[in-house]
Amino acid sequence: MANENVEGLKRSRAKLIEQRRALVKRDCTSDRNEGFSERIVAIQAAIEATNRAIEEEETLVAESQGNLAAA
């Protein structure tokens, strides 16, 4: 189950990265400021939060596996 959480978070991160790339591409091709930079910053914050969540889930998995081995 915990592995499923990590995999779900990784899929979510991949989607966020694709969104960021698409916004960067649009920002580079647009002559107007359409607020892309603010959205890019928000997406980057979400990516960083997702990275922290992945690390936390992986730590929890490792701890639970350690507890099972000790039992």
- Residue type at 49? A
Residue 42 zone, left/alpha/beta (φ > 0; ψ -120 to 50; rest): alpha
Q: Supply the pLDDT for residue 27.
A: 78
> Per-residue pLDDT tens for 22-61?
988 887 777 776 788 889 999 999 999 999 999 999 999 8
pTM: 0.81
Q: Spelled out in words, what is the top-level CATH class assigned to the domain 2-70?
A: mainly alpha
What pLDDT, on a 0 to 100 scale, did the predictor assign at position 1? 60
Helices (H), the chain: 2-29, 36-70
Tokens of 8: 């779900």
Q: Give domain limits for the chain.
A: 2-70
pLDDT at 54: 97
